[in-house]
Structure 1
Amino acid sequence: MDTVLLLPRLLVPVRPRLQVLEQMAVVLEGETIKAVLPRSEAIATYQDAGRIELPEHVLLPGFINMHTHSAMSLLRGYADDLNLQVWLNEHIWPIEKAFVGPDFVHDGTRLAIAEMLRGGTTFFNDLYFFPEVTAAAAVEAGIRACIGLPVIDVPTAWAGDENDYIDKGLRVSESWQNEPLLNTAFSPHAPYSVGDDALRRIAKISTERDLRVHMHVLESGWEVDESIRQHGKPTLERLHDVGLLNERLLAVHMTQLNGTDLTALAGADVNVIHCPESNLKLGNGICEVGKLHDHGVNLALGTDSAASNNDLDLLAESRTAALLAKGYSADPCVMNAFQALEMLTINAAKALGMSNQLGSIEAGKLADLCAVRLDSLHTTPMYDVVSHLIYTVSSQQVSHVWVGGRMLIQDGGFLHLDVDEIIDKAKYWEQKITAQARAARSKEYNLHE
């Protein structure tokens, strides 16, 4: 088993908290971190080990993107400046009905993976159709993923009804259960698009198999009203009644909270996934992360899809999250830079139930890491590296990425992905989707003549 020493200028291990270390080495052995030692001691102890000098870099845990629809990278910029229901019902769902299949999901997921890796993301938590294709693309690329098993109350190219979605999802979960890069979660789309019987069945499976449940929750004001109209009760009360309000729930967005909700979330140990840029772009409101943090709720970050963000840049997302929290609360102390970094790393690992394996640089954990170059104009001078990471650094400064000790990005270049091929495939879909959109507009125009 090969041993490699990583020798960065600075090390931010995340755990212990608030530490920034100099003259340190991280010892990789196979897929794990064997030790974190002073540089001189590591070199003396592991004289035959390979060495990777990172003289102008900070070494960090790999970032974890806690909410993606990766294949939707092929719809980046397709429908912008629209409210959520118009965006979904009149644009996204119709174009998905026309094009989504295994090839679309494969090519879109590879595009998303390349973008995420280049920005330091080593794990993504996905929710999309044809999850078996997403799983295969992730393993092929060498990135870690939690594969969402979608459930929705309308037929799609992947499944016919709610029970069909669940049955197919179980087969996908079982087929990938021995793959070390993957785990799975059930992903009912939203409370308004999945019925009570299906939610109860998902809750039972989640409990029996210890699976996470990844779900859009309280994303818009419309959803709040719709829950009362459809079910006669608020969303979180309904989720409690069907057995989903617990520590396995990854509740995405959460922009429509009241005081009772905060207490319920904290009491049930629910994990909240904050997607500030998507929420801002769709005008859905703002997740009150300051209040959630004060109540002890675990908070992590996701980008959402490139169709509603429009990128998968977690460093940019963390900056938006920190600044938005300060502006919304009128308190500059809300969500400091280190707390924002925790949302990208250890908090996300906790949400996944993997904080003993991921999210910090500690001996025995998986070697999912990224290095960021600091010798650029806009990161000079530097007095506080964590502040720079959140408020200054660009994702293009990510220079190296490792997943399970395997280097995937070196000096900003891909070692195992054919980026030219990925871009060519994306352009192919751009041409197909553009032609479809033009034909639809032409038909609509003719009908109105």
Structure 2
Amino acid sequence: MTNDNQNPNSNPNPNPNPNQNPNLIIINAYVLTMEGKGVGMIEDGAVAIKGNKIEAVGPTKQILADYSSKADEVIDATNKLIMPGLIDSHIHTGLGILRGVAQDMHNWMQDGLWPFMKHVTPEDSKKGSMMNIIEGIKAGTTTFCDYDSNMNQLVQNYVAVGARARVAELINEIPDDIGDLPVGELYPFHPEIGNRKLQNNLELLKKWNGAENGRITSMLGPHGPDMMSLELLQEIKELATKYDTRLHMHVAQGDREIDQVFKRYGKRSIAFLDEIGYLNERLLAVHLTEATKEETEQVARSGAAMINCSGSIGIIDGIVPPILEFIEAGGTAALGSDQAPGNNCNNMFNEMKFVAILNKVKRKDPSVFPADQALRLATIDAAKAVGLEHEVGSIRVGKKADLLFINLEEPSMSPVITKPVRNIVPNLVYSARGNEVESVMVDGKFIMKDRQMVTVDEKQVIREVQQAATAISEKVAADPKLPASTPLLAKMELGEL
């Protein structure tokens, strides 16, 4: 249960220009604006859209009085919830083609993911990426902070599907066959690999930052402090200043990273990053899985944001990342779904539920991490963390019309209770699974309507992904360097999978 701290009949966004003719008015809805300190609920609300932006939001009666005779279209959203699109602040869509290959094991990356990754082509990644994007959209994600290799190819999927993307190239200096290296040995660095990937990221910034009417923006994407030389880390930091952009980066993401950094520099990751000037407001510090309480608080105080991926880290490491400690230290945080080989699904409803429940369990306190806090981490707080709060994350006049239509007549969202408390937000976080998302709008255009993708052929995408995944699997199975101790392989041989 939650108190939304908002008068349901108030209008948080007074109409600035009633003489404008909106393209669309959505009426008779529950409107979850995510404005103010709560969730900004308007119980009989309406939203007017002009072009790709919110023209007005308020009570249905007021919006109809101002606009009904001027709108091109009016949608009656009775028994629907209209809310901002969800923001996935950390996702590797190019790994979608390897869903489910690396669970229930130690050394997830080395023993699980890397034996497959070296057989994945850029075209395979692009196919898996499109499938992953569709999956996210159908569960309400409208903004994807995608962070992967070959991003100049993957970004074309966002052009085709119509979603919002904030993209970065995964920059490192490690070879494709790194999975053949015994666990614990120092990674070999190849400057030519790092330079190629850095140039890909710079091309991404120059070609795609601000593309598609601003729907696509770019950042720099250093893979992690263990994945490249000090020289390349310093060069990327200087480029972030030059291009005035943020750094999307794994930080303290596992004991493997801590071990590699300590062997090279005699320091743990966060102390090392502080020493070289990375801890500031440009940094999106992803995971912080292995960060101590003191290190977590240090990152929060630095102005860096934290991206928390509860589902992925829970499955991969069996750890609850320190997001609650980070927030309590004054930091800005957001949620991400990470990657399909580790998390299996890329669904922000899952992430909201996991982050709330796991932190309640961690603290042994059911009152911590309430539903509205989890929801903010996938909407307005996420927008602030990734630098898009002026465009998305809430329903406010002048922001982009990235909206979800949630069917409140689905069993998981029923019944709707409004007095003496509202149950919509708790049900979104603890009950919804994603299929309650009926339609998705980005930039004022429907990209999914009545559960059907508008811009791409979903079935064809799935067929192409299956063909590519089958070919990859055959290569992995025939690879003479595939470790016999690979956990899933051993389970297969024992008939356990």
Same fold (TM over 0.5): yes
In the superposition, relative to structure 1, how do residues 155 and 223 fare at CA in structure 2: closer, same or farther (>3 Å)? closer
Distance 1:343 1:444, change over 3 A: closer
2:209 pairs with 1:177: yes
Query: For structure 1, which segment, 159-168 or 112-121, has the greater mean C-alpha deviation from structure 2 after superposition?
Result: 159-168
CA contact (8 A) 2:293 2:322 kept: no
Q: Distance in 2 between matches of 1:438 and 1:215?
A: 32
Residues matched between the structures, number: 442
Q: Matches of 2:166 and 2:273 in 1, distance apart?
A: 22
Q: Secondary structure at the match of 2:119?
A: helix
Pick from 218, 232, 235 the counterpart of residue 198 of structure 1.
232
Alignment partner, residue 348 of structure 1? 382
Show CA shifts across 1:214-269 (max 9, x none).
Answer: 11111123333332222111211211222211111111111222232133112211
- Give, in whole Å, the separation in 2 of the partners of 1:305 and 1:41: 44
1:20 aligns with 2:31: no
Which residue in the other structure is 1:385 paired with? 424
- Residue 448 of structure 2 corresponds to residue 409 of structure 1: yes
d(CA) in 1 for partners of 2:458, 2:252: 37
SS at match of 1:64: strand
1:131 aligned partner? 151
Counterpart Cα distance in 1 of 2:176 and 2:465: 22
What is the rounded CA distance, in whole Å, between the counterparts of 1:8 and 1:243 in structure 2?
51
Query: Deviations 1:326-355 (Å, cap 9, x if unpaired)?
Result: 000112122111110000011111112111
Note the alpha carbon deviations across 1:294-341, whole angstroms, 9 max, x for none. Answer: 111111000011111000110011101100010001121221111100
Q: Which residue of 1 aligns with 2:115?
A: 94
Q: Equivalent residues in 2 for 1:423-442 (5 A)?
A: 423-440=462-479
Tell me how far apart the structure 2 counterparts of residues 151 and 60 of structure 1 sit (CA, whole Å). 35
Contact 1:262/1:292, CA 8 A, preserved across alignment: yes
Find 1:74's aligned residue among 75, 97, 109: 97
> Mapping of 1:47-62 within 5 angstroms?
47-62=70-85
Q: How do 1:18-417 residues align onto structure 2 when only pairs under 5 Å count?
A: 18=38, 19-46=40-67, 47-83=70-106, 86-101=107-122, 103-156=123-176, 160-179=192-211, 180-283=214-317, 285-383=319-417, 384-417=423-456
Offset, 1:122 = 0.4
Relative to structure 2, which stretch is displaced further, 171-180 or 209-218? Answer: 171-180
Find the aligned partners of 1:149 and 1:409 in 2 and give their Cα distance. Answer: 27
What is the CA–CA distance in structure 1 between the aligned matches of 2:272 and 2:255, rounded to whole Å?
A: 16
Deviation at 1:15, TM superposition (A): 0.6
Q: 2: distance between equivalents of 1:389 and 1:259?
A: 30
Deviation at 1:443, TM superposition (A): 8.6
Are the structure 2 counterparts of residues 283 and 354 from structure 1 closer, same or farther at C-alpha, using a change threshold of 3 Å? same
Provide the C-alpha distance between the structure 2 equivalents of 1:161 and 1:442, rounded to a whole number of angstroms: 22
Instruction: Please tell me whether the aligned partners of residues 72 and 305 of structure 1 are also in contact (alpha carbons under 8 angstroms).
Output: yes
Q: 2:316, 2:293 → 1: CA distance?
A: 24
The answer (yes or no) to whether the contact 2:300–2:331 under 8 Å persists in 1 is yes
TM-score (norm 2): 0.85
Q: Name the CA distance, whole Å, in 2 between partners of 1:20 and 1:178.
A: 32
Unaligned runs of 5+ in 1: none
Q: Distance in 2 between matches of 1:287 and 1:8?
A: 40
SS in 2 for 1:334: coil
Shift of 1:2: 5.5
Distance 1:351 1:336 in 2: 20
Q: Percent identical across equivalent pairs?
A: 27
Q: Is the Cα contact below 8 Å between 2:44 and 2:59 reproduced in 1?
A: yes
Is the alpha carbon distance of 1:426 and 1:159 closer, same or farther for their aligned partners in structure 2, counting shifts above 3 Å?
farther
State the one-letter code of the partner of 1:354: L
Q: CA deviation at 1:156?
A: 4.8
CA distance in 2, matches of 1:138, 1:156: 26
Alpha-carbon distance in 2 for matches of 1:165, 1:100: 15
CA contact (8 A) 1:325 1:334 kept: yes
1: CA distance between counterparts of 2:37 and 2:439?
23
For 1:197-223, what per-residue CA distance to the aligned partner results, in whole angstroms no more than 9, with x for missing partners? Answer: 111111111112121111111112333
**Quick one: distance in 1 between partners of 2:88 and 2:482?**
40
Closer/same/farther in 2, CA of residues 420 and 413 from structure 1, 3 Å limit: same
Kept in 2: contact 1:303–1:314 (CA 8 A): yes
Alpha-carbon offset, residue 382 of structure 1: 3.1
Distance in 1 (alpha carbons) for counterparts of 2:470 and 2:260 = 37
Distance 2:293 2:75 in 1: 50
Partner SS state of residue 282, structure 1: helix
